[in-house]
Structure formats: C-alpha cells, structure tokens
Amino acid sequence: MRQLFIPLGLIVVVVGCASAGAGTTSPTTAPQSAATAQDTSGGIGPQYTSTYQRHQNSAVLIRNATIMTATGQEIQGGSILLRDGKIVAVGTTVEAPTDATVVDGTGKWVTPGVIDTHSHLGVYAAPGTFAESDGNEATRPVTAEVWAEHSFWPQDPQIPLAIAGGVTTIQALPGSANLIGGRSAVLKLIPGRSVQEMKFPGAHYGLKMACGENPKRVYGQRGGPSTRMGNMAGYREAFIGAQTYRRRWDKWNKDHQGDPPDRNLRNETLAEVLRGNIYVQNHCYRADEMVQMLDLAHEFGFKIRSFHHAVEAYKIADVLAREGVAASVWADWWGFKEEAMDGIYENAALLQQAGARAVIHSDDAGGIQRLNQEAAKAMFHGRRAGIPVTRDQALRWFTANPAWALGLDSIVGTLEPGKMADVVLWSADPLSVYAQAVQVYNDGWLVYDRTDPAHQPKTDFMLGHP
C-alpha cells in the first residue's frame, strides 16, 4: 500500500492479503485439548507439539497504575500481581509479597497483552526477499496440507518490533493466494530458536481460507478458479473429499477393523475442521461473500470462527451476531483493491452495536505494532457517529475478542486472577496516540522494557547491523 518513496513491505499486502531467555522451568499447565483431538484423526501423534517453556521470572507487582482489565473495569490507582506466569490479584489493595519486584505504575496504564488474529510475521519475514517469502504455497488452490509453522522463521526482525508494541500472542497465517491456504500457527510472541518454542500450548490450529479477488487472480490463468463461483466450487469439492475421509477414519478409530485408511494430509486437516477441532479463519472482504461462506459452513456443518479483513462486515453485522462469527477488521484500511472499497471507520463500532464480536487485526508487520492505536481510531470514529462504544469494549477488540477467535479466551485476553500473565504497561492511556508500551510481560516474563536495553530483544538477523 505504500508504493511511493519507501517501497517496503509490498509483498505481504499484495500476496499475503491485502497484506534470550532467563533459564527455563516447569512446562506450562495449559490445556492440551487440540493435541488430544488430533490423535483421533489417526496418524498425527505428538510429534508436532509445543516445546514452549515458561521463562523464570520473579513475582512482579505493578502498583498505582490505571488498570484496564478488559472485563469492564478501569481501576484508578490499581495494582496487579504476577507470579509464576499467572495473574494473582488485581485491585486497589494488593499487598506486595517480599520477593516481588515492585514497578511504579504512577501515571501509567496496564492492559492485557495484545493479541493479533492475523499476522504474517515469520512467514513473510523481513528483509522481505524471495528467501523469506514463505507465506503462500501458491502452487495449487487448495493446500490444506501445509502448516504455517513449517514456514515460520523465528529470527524475523519484525518480531521484536511487534513485541515492543505490546503484542504477546499472534496467529501466524498462510497468505491468501489459495482458497484453502493451510494451517495457522498460534504463537507466544517471544524470542525463540524454533517455532516449537513459541507455539501456544494447547491452542487450536486455524485453517486459512480466502474469498474473492486473490485466489481468482492467482489461479485465473493457471487452471482456475478464475471466478467467485469457481472459488465456491473449490471449497465444496475439498470438503466433500474430507467428509468421506473423516467417515472412514472415524469408523476405523472406533472399531480398528483391518488396515487403517491411507493418510492424506490435506484431508486430515479438513477432517479436523469438520470435527470442530481446527478453527476456520476466513479472509473475506465483501458482505455478500461472507454470506456465501456461511452457506458453505452450514452445508458441511463446521463453524467459521472469524472472518478476516471483513471491511464490509458492518453491512451484515446482524447476521454475524446471529451466527456467532467474529469479524477481524482494520480500523481504516480501504480502497487498495475493489473488494476493499467499502471499508469505513465505523465498522468495528457497528459490529459492537449489533452484538457481534469485533476484533482489530493487522495483517501487517507495521500495523501489528500499534493495534491499540487502530482500536482507538475505530472507537472514536464510532462515537462521533453516535455509536456508543466503551473504552473497555475497544480494549477487548485487541485483547479478549481475538483471544476468543483463537479459542484462548479462558487463558488470555483479560486481567483476571488465574489468567496467564500476559500484561502490558503503557506510558499513557493506550487509546492515545502518544502511548507506548513501557513493559511487556509474556507469561510473567519481562520480555520487553523500553527503559532497559537488557530487555529489548533483537533477533539474530539484526546482529551486526546498524
């Protein structure tokens, strides 16, 4: 989108979508539901599980800050205690344990860690040459068999920039060249040597699907689909195959009669979608196409967890509320292609008003660094248009709601005792343009501190550069 003067970062937009540790301790106790579920499809054992380990960190008490909990509360002069990767207490009268590091939050704000449902970090890594272009397996329109985690490069120098923007969890997605682009990777955004060290334990995989212009542009001259009706036929064909596959495997898993059916990677993933274990994350701009995709989901009995880039979601906010589908949107991206022409600032606010679940997402290594700002833009424009949006609701657009879209809302996304200690300390009101993340805690670990170079991670790639 930024062709003039600084031609950087084009690849993600055009093709993608638009688009050090402190020692280790005990493994996390987060649920392993998705891993368990995968076993039932046959063949995928625990080989691809997370090796994430929580970093040891002393207890931390941030006190005398304004704490926005994303549960409806904004606590003045509040304190929050983090211990062993968990939020222990939030309120105005939290005692500092003797072993806790005390952080003075005077004049500062505290929110949950920022969560982005739509990132291409690691799969379209900087410096952005062909060598790092690993986001689209654009060799055929249905590639349900590929997994974003197998492309993900943990040394992407964009990762620390996003961390400095307060981001603690991302969904790294395949690009949108394909009708079905492959599995997403849901990650703790921390420095790591491998993607395995970053995989959010127990997170559901997502399945990237894409509507509209991109697949038909990419495949129009390469055997199709070349039309939106071709797109629909492509999804249906894929899921018809998966239905048969699932039936065979479910039967075999039940009775273990004879040889197991042949494994098929593509159908393995799609069968997991049909079983509800993999969440559909659907790039879809236009309202009419989202309605088509809902028909598709109804035909095959799966749920779309979130539409992404849903610039026209406001036109069907009632439908999305009824269907329980989240809409991941930008505050103000519009106009860069025809299916994005009807993007309006008030999209998220109108979704909120209709009772639908709005998410502010980035799809962009720049935008991910300031999702708080994007949410602020969307909130204030909504308010000016007379649509009531609370500060807490706007905060939820980049915390609790994306947590739900990733199926992690019981673990992260709000500041409540028992939740994972993913916490951001901001220099000012996070809905102000002047606010910056001062400290970022990921699972209780101080992964970023603006005031302390010892807590400003650099990936290997950046070493030796200016």
Partner 1 sequence: MIAFLLAQTIAITGGTVYPVSGPKIENATVLIRDGRIAAVGTNVAVPAGATRIDAAGKWVTPGLIDGAGQMGLREISAVQNTNESQLRGHEIAAAFNVLEGINPASTLIPVNRIEGVTTTLAVPNGSLIWGQAALIDLDGATIEAMRVRSPVAMVADLSEGSKDAGGGSRAGVAQRLRRVFDDALEYARRGPNYQRAQNEELAASSADLQALLPVLRGQLPLIAVANRRSDIETALRIGREYKLRLILAGAAEAWMIPGQIAAAGVPVLVEPLQNLPSYDALGIRYENAPLLAKGGVKLALMETATENTRNLRQQAGNAVANGMTWDQALRAVTLTPAEIFGVADRYGSLEAGKVANVVVWTGDPFEFSTGVEHVFIRGRDIPLRSRQTELLERYKTLPPKY
CB 204 within 8 A of CB 36: no
Residue 424, SS3?
strand
Q: Which is nearer to partner 1, 261 or 366 (CB)?
A: 366
Least Å from the CB of residue 366 to partner 1: 6
Q: Which is nearer to partner 1, 19 or 169 (CB)?
A: 19
Residues in contact with partner 1 by CB under 8 A are 1-9, 126-129, 157-158, 161, 213, 314-315, 317-318, 332-338, 341-346, 350, 354, 365-366, 369-370, 373, 376-377, 379-380, 384-385, 387, 431-436, 462, 465-466
Pairing of strands 185-188, 304-308: unpaired
Pair of tokens at residue 272: 């997991």
Least Å from the CB of residue 117 to partner 1: 20
Rounded (5°) CA angle 330-334-125:
60
Number of H helices and E strands in the chain, helices first, is 12, 19
Q: Half-sphere exposure of 252 toward its Cβ, with a 13 Å CA cutoff?
A: 17
Least Å from the CB of residue 304 to partner 1: 20
Least Å from the CB of residue 379 to partner 1: 8
Q: Which is nearer to partner 1, 142 or 425 (CB)?
A: 425
Q: Which is nearer to partner 1, 35 or 320 (CB)?
A: 320
Pair of tokens at residue 214: 């991109």
446 forms beta bridges with 441
Least Å from the CB of residue 341 to partner 1: 7
Q: Which is nearer to partner 1, 296 or 354 (CB)?
A: 354
Pairing of strands 167-172, 185-188: antiparallel
Least Å from the CB of residue 465 to partner 1: 5
CB 187 within 8 A of CB 197: no
Instruction: Write down the residue that tokens 């949108």 correspond to.
Output: 176
CA–CA distance, 412 with 164 (Å, rounded to integer): 18
Q: Which is nearer to partner 1, 35 or 284 (CB)?
A: 284
